[in-house]
Each structure stands twice: as C-alpha cells, then as structure tokens.
Amino acid sequence: MSYIKEKFKAKADELSAEVKDLLKNHGTKKVDDVTIAQVYQGMRGITGLVTETSLLDANEGIRFRGYSIPELREHLPKAPGGAEPLPEGLFYLMLIGELPTEADVQNLSSVLGRRSHVPNHVFDAIEALPVSTHPMTMFTVAVMALQTESVFAKAYADGMSKKDYWSYMYEDTLNLIARLPRVAAYIYRRKYKNGQHIQPDGMLDWAGNFAHMLGYDDEGFKELMRLYMVIHADHEGGNVSAHTTHLVGSALSDAYLSFAAGMNGLAGPLHGLANQEVIKWILSMREELGGGIPTKEQIAAYVKKTLSEGKVVPGYGHAVLRKTDPRFTAQMEFAKKHLPEDELVRIVWTVYETVPPILQDLGKVKNPWPNVDAHSGALLVHYGLVEYEFYTVLFGVSRALGVLASLCWDRALSLSLERPKSVTSEWMKLFVEGK
C-alpha cells in the first residue's frame, strides 16, 4: 500500500471512531429546523450533509480543510519557477486533511502520471459522436466509457467485503483523476484543432501537462491552469455537482458512474455552464456596442436589457455566498499581475463596478456580487483558448479533485444510502391545516 493511502486509512479510522461515538452519544440531537419555503425552494440553508473536504462561509467564501484561497496560494507547493499552487497539493490536503510537503506533491504528480493511460475504446466513444456535440456531453460520455476500468465495480461483482469499499474507491479516484486531462484534451483537439492530438509530457505536473496537451505551452497559461484547477476544485457538499456525485455514490455506484452524474449537473447553465454564458454575454454586449471597452452607462443599459428579457446576468449571484467570491478575487489578482491591460479583463472589471447595485435594486437578488464564473473566460481568451463551449470541461476536470476526494471519505466513513423524504403539495396543504 502506498504511504498516502496508508495515511488516508489511518485518518479515516480515527474519524470513523469519532463519528461512531458522535452518533452513539448525540445521534438524536437536532441540527436544524426546516420550513416549507426551504422544502419548495431548493432546500437552501438546510444542514443535511457531511462533506469533509471544504466548508463554505456566506461572507468569507470557501475554505479547504480550514485554508482560504489566499492561504492556499501561499502555503501549497508550486511548480519550479512558478507562483501558483499545484492542484495535486490541494487534492492531498482535501484527502488527508494536512498540508503536503514538496515531496508529497511530487510523489502524487508521478503517481498520476503513471496511472494516466486511457484505453482506445474511450477515444472511439468520443469519435462516435458528431463533432458538433457539446464538449460536456463528450466529456460525460468519455467518463462513462472509462467505467470499464473501475476496480470498485469489478471487486463488488466478485463479492468484496464492506470494509474494503474505501480501498477500491481510492484506487478508482486516483485512476480517474489521472486520466481526465488526457480525455479532456482529446475532446478539445478533436473538436477545435482538426483532431491533431498532443502526446502527454511525463516531466510536467498534472495541470502543466493538461495545458501542454491542450496545445498551450506558454508558462503563463500553465500557471493559470494550476490556479484554475485549485479554485474550482470544491465548494462544500451541497452544490449540484458535488451533491450529485455524493448521492449517486451512496448507491455504491463507482467513481466513474458517480462523477459522470455530477458532471451532468455541472453542465447546467445555473451551475458550471455559467462560465461559457458569461463570456458569450460579454462578447455579444461588446459586439452590440460596436467594440472596445463599454462605459458603465452602456453596461448598465445592457444589463437592464438582459433582465427585461427575463434572463439572469451570468456570473452574478450565488445560492450561499453573500459577498464577492474569493475565487473571483484570486482570478482578478492573477489578471492584475499578468494581463492588466487586456481589453476583456478590463470589461470584466467594469462589469464588476456596474452590476451589483443594479441587481441590488431589484430587491429580490440575495447576492448581487460576482461568482467564480464571472472572471474565468476573459483569462482563457487572453491566452488563446477562445472556444468557450469548452470552459465547463475545464471546470469539470478541476471539480473531480474535490468530489472524488469526498467520495473516498464517504466510503471510508460508511455513509448511508441517501434517501430523504418527499411529500406532495396535497400533503403540505393538509399539514398547514393541521390535519
């Protein structure tokens, strides 16, 4: 057994014993009350899940095992000559609960490199789809095709014991994370670069190699990919992609089945697809206004037009956050350092100065501030990755780190099949009448 796996097992055994005690001594203690509004309106704010890897505060934003994004940028190991954290380090932190050393991260990078082989039938499955297929559909099809490689599914079919679930889930998790950059890069090169594929570079880190296989060897882009893969990785357990992965995994579906399900949720425009919607919205605003950087007045008029057409302003608002998303701020800092004069970036910043008061004035939007998706597209366009339909796939590759680390914890803690109670509106009416 590898030392990282052994460490995970030791941590999991410790926490399992604590959870057992917690359930035995306090299992009947109430953590929440639930209102009818919450039941109808997306279960907002109901504490009903346990996710170890990260915790979201409405005002401060996300913390991964207690570390904020600025702290991660400071403390996680970097690539040689680089300034951004390596995503392998964040994965280690989410899985083990401790900051990794340089050696831990190097070890994880080479483990992922060794496990990254993608069987040919996965590429054949992608090739079977029309080139016009949305990249997120290609991505989930490819993940489903990879499911043939699940060691968890094989072990279950052979009759594995409950106490070994965590071990096979761990193996599937590392194998899947290792393979995703190759799969995603294949989709990109097939759809947008005439199928001219680029072989992996085994000397590079996970995100650096991903940038290389996409066809972007600029050091700035590699740094952007490392930061991008870190900030999109996890956002506690209730968001659609994380919750879906966890829910499907609770049926003992393997990591491939569970992750593919989560990715279908990420592909929705109110969740991960918002990153493509933002850049589409900005580009059509710029085109409609005749190019250049629009003024605040022009942006305000365009926002009001968007709202009057019954649409949302993409990249703004959040189900939990109530302040500017620190993932937005991290990208803004990256842009200030590397591309402060970029026109699209300047538009993103002017939109940031303009949109919040307009949304606030609507009186119904709970969070008028930008989320992670409001900034990412402008950075990608700067380095030449202009094919915005692909952006959610980048989000998906990153999100694998968090949701799959969580899936390992789910099996290690023996979390149950998820099965909340639902009622009909008829039931609700009778309940209100006290019947």
- Chain positions contacting ligand CMX, by CB under 6 A: 239, 270-272, 274, 307, 312-319, 359, 364-367, 371-373
Among the listed residues 373, 375, 382, 410, the single catalytic one is 373
**Residue 44 vs 429, nearer CB to ligand CMX:** 44
**Residue 147 vs 371, nearer CB to ligand CMX:** 371
**Closest to 176 measured CA to CA, from 260, 120, 255, 248:** 255
Secondary structure letter of residue 398 according to DSSP? H
3-class state of residue 166 by DSSP? helix
Cα–Cα distance list, 15 to 3, 19, 94, 104, 165 (Å): 18, 6, 14, 22, 16
Among the listed residues 212, 232, 235, 318, the single catalytic one is 318
**Residue 220 vs 356, nearer CB to ligand CMX:** 356
**Residue 108 vs 282, nearer CB to ligand CMX:** 282
**Residue 313 vs 393, nearer CB to ligand CMX:** 313
Secondary structure letter of residue 85 according to DSSP? B
Query: What are 64's strand-pairing partners?
Result: 54, 67
Least Å from the CB of residue 361 to ligand CMX? 12
**d(C-alpha 51, C-alpha 55), whole Å:** 8
**Residue 327 vs 411, nearer CB to ligand CMX:** 327
Q: Active-site residue 232, yes or no?
A: no
Least Å from the CB of residue 130 to ligand CMX? 27
Least Å from the CB of residue 311 to ligand CMX? 7
Length of the chain, please? Answer: 435
- Pull the structure tokens for residue 319: 């189900």
CA 96, 99, 104: angle at the middle one, nearest 5?
80
**d(C-alpha 156, C-alpha 393), whole Å:** 30
Least Å from the CB of residue 330 to ligand CMX? 15
Among the listed residues 232, 246, 271, 382, the single catalytic one is 271
- Pull the structure tokens for residue 86: 């390596």
Least Å from the CB of residue 49 to ligand CMX? 16
Least Å from the CB of residue 388 to ligand CMX? 14
Cα–Cα distance list, 146 to 149, 263, 392, 420 (Å): 6, 14, 19, 30
Q: Which residue is nearest to ligand CMX (CB)?
A: 317
Q: Biggest alpha carbon distance in the chain?
A: 68
The single-letter code of the amino acid at 163 is K
Q: Active-site residue 373, yes or no?
A: yes
Q: Active-site residue 134, yes or no?
A: no
Active site residues: 271, 318, 373
